[in-house]
Structure formats: C-alpha cells, structure tokens
Amino acid sequence: MEDLNKIAGISPVRLGYKSKFEFKCHPGVPCFTECCRGINIILTPYDIVQLKNRLKLSSREFLAVYTEPHLLEKTDLPMVTLKLLDDERESCPFVKDKEGCIIYKDRPTSCRYYPLGTATLQHKEGADDDGFFFFVNEPHCKGFEEDTEWTVAQWREDQGVDIRDEINREWTDLVVRKRSFPPNIKLTEKAKQMFFLVSYDIDKFREFVFDSTFLERMDVDDATVEKIKNDEIELLKFGLEWLKGILFKQTEPEKQADNFADQAKSD
Ligand code: SF4
Ligand code: SF4
C-alpha cells in the first residue's frame, strides 16, 4: 500500500479562513489538467456517495473499479483513494485533455480544495474549528500567476466544500480522534471492517441496517427509520454517529463492533 504522506510539495504555512491568496484556474492556463495526474486523492464518505450515484454504480462496484485501499498511518484505519490509470502520467480516470474533468459537478472534496489542502482531510492533529489549511505548492500549477483574489473562506464556498465538510464532519472527527490514541490501543480487524462498511460501502450498510435485526437491537425510533430509509445522506450521518458510539463511547466498544461485524457477515 502506498504511503499517503507522500503528498508532493505541501507548504508548511498554516492558513486560516481569512488568509488571502491570488489564484485562478481555467481552461486557458498552460498547465490545464496537470494537477489531475500522479496525485493522491483521498475519498471521503460523501465523495463516494456522490460519485457512485453519478456513475450509476453500487458503492461496492464503485469501490472495486475506482478505488485503492490504504491504511492511514498512526490510525490503522482503512482509507480509499481514487485509483489512477496505468498510463505514463498516472492520470485520473475522469480527466480528458480538452474537456478537463468529466465529472466536475461531482468531483471529490480534495479536488475542490486544490490548490489548498486541509488538515481535516489529511487528518492532522490541530485540525480544529479555527481552520487549518495550507497550499499544495506544485511547481506545474500556474494558477498562482493569475490575479483573482480570494480568502480561504471565499474559496471554500465557491468550490462547494463547506457543505461537504459539514456532512463529513463526524467521519473526520472519528479519524482525528483515533489518531490521538496511544499507539498500543488498537482496533480489532472487525472494528475496522465496520468502519469501512459505514464510511465507504453505503449500499451494503443499508442492507445491513434494513435486512438484519439491527433496528430492533438498536431500538431506533420510527421517525429516524423513515428518514434514513429515504435519504442516503441521512443514512450516512446515522451510520457515522453509530460508529462513533461503538468505537469510542460505550463500555465495551470492541466487543460490540465485533458482534455487529459478525452479524454483518452472516446477514
Ligand atoms: S476527479 Fe476531476 S478534478 Fe479530480 S483529479 Fe480527477 S479529473 Fe481532476
Ligand atoms: S495545475 Fe493549477 S492552474 Fe493548472 S489546471 Fe491544475 S489547478 Fe488549474
């Protein structure tokens, strides 16, 4: 598995919401689509929901065709990145030389942030409500030579990342929290399976919730059942909240995760 820390050119300068920079990206820049090659794109749970729906695939199919698994260092938690093509330039599967990104409206959160990086998406300690952003300074990127001025807050809103960050918040919190654990506290393989199921395989998680004894065992109220039955994002939020409970809050979290993982396998 590839080391996700090998991310080229990350500038150490910490930026906040009010930090200013000049940047513009458009099809006329000489580097058009250069940033869509040879790059690690960590996928968030919300990215996967959007992309698999865009491509009309199940989450399982999307994971099999378009992603690569990793373990995030210091957490031992499963992560997935977009699988790049096996061409000379390791291109993103969604980039075309002339058109650029063919799934632009549903592009992943990392692509939206670019040329910024965010500590929450890299799951760095210190990623807090004050914001922790940085430039991904890649030499080929000529967008910094343009003169459109942004604050980080304006860039996030323009690129539609604020809403995505909100939906992914529970997930990034989980990962950052796991990272702060002493290295000798390990999650079991089954706990990691449950993390993977909820975070990335939403269609399988839906089956697990509705086609097993899960709802009875968890005593979920009718209003919540109705909400998560009809809304995939609500199902994702519900799953992440539940995951937090079994991994971190309750008295025997590992045991509970193991029990549910056993059930998920047998259902
Ligand atoms: S998803 Fe789109 S924006 Fe992101 S790397 Fe691929 S082509 Fe580029
Ligand atoms: S390298 Fe920078 S300027 Fe060039 S296409 Fe990518 S984001 Fe835009």
Give 140 Cα–ligand 1 centroid separation in angstroms.
16
Proportion of the chain above pLDDT 70, given as a percent: 84
Q: Which ligand is nearest to the CA of 54?
A: 1
pLDDT band at residue 180 under the 50/70/90 scheme: confident
Please name the residue that has the structure tokens 């990623």: 127
- Non-local CB neighbours of 76 within 8 Å, separated by 6+ positions: 178, 186, 187, 192
Q: Is the pLDDT of residue 127 over 70?
A: no
Q: Which of 92, 96, 109, 141 to mutate to test the pocket of ligand 1 (most atoms within 8 A of CB)?
A: 92
Give 37 Cα–ligand 1 centroid separation in angstroms.
8
Q: What is the pTM of this model?
A: 0.86
Nearest residue (by CA) to ligand 1, atom 2, is 101
pLDDT band at residue 215 under the 50/70/90 scheme: very high
Nearest residue (by CA) to ligand 2, atom 7, is 25
Residue with more model confidence, 92 or 172: 92
Please name the residue that has the structure tokens 């968890």: 218
Q: How far apart are the first and last CA of the chain?
A: 30
Contact 109/161 with Cβ under 8 angstroms?
Answer: yes
Alpha-carbon distance of 208 to 60, in angstroms, equals 14
pLDDT band at residue 124 under the 50/70/90 scheme: low
Alpha-carbon distance of 59 to 51, in angstroms, equals 9
Question: What pLDDT was estimated at residue 251?
Answer: 42
Q: Is the pLDDT of residue 210 over 70?
A: yes
Radius of gyration of the chain (CA): 19
Nearest residue (by CA) to ligand 1, atom 1, is 107
Closest-CA residue to 50 (of 33, 34, 65, 62)? 62
Alpha-carbon distance of 185 to 192, in angstroms, equals 13
Question: What pLDDT was estimated at residue 5?
Answer: 38
Mean pLDDT lowest among 4-8, 19-23, 66-70, 170-174: 4-8
Give 107 Cα–ligand 1 centroid separation in angstroms.
6
Residue 229 C-alpha from the chain's centroid = 23
Please name the residue that has the structure tokens 């001025």: 149
CB of 142 closer than 6 angstroms to any ligand 2 atom: yes
Q: Which ligand is nearest to the CA of 115?
A: 2
Residue with more model confidence, 249 or 127: 249
- Non-local CB neighbours of 57 within 8 Å, separated by 6+ positions: 65
Q: Which of 21, 23, 34 to mutate to test the pocket of ligand 2 (most atoms within 8 A of CB)?
A: 34
Q: Is the pLDDT of residue 264 over 50?
A: yes
Question: What pLDDT was estimated at residue 167?
Answer: 86
Torsion of CA 235, 195, 47, 11, to 10 degrees: 140
CB of 114 closer than 6 angstroms to any ligand 2 atom: yes
Give just the sign of the alpha carbon dihedral 214, 218, 220, 224: negative
Mean pLDDT lowest among 24-38, 171-185, 246-260: 246-260
Alpha-carbon distance of 134 to 126, in angstroms, equals 13
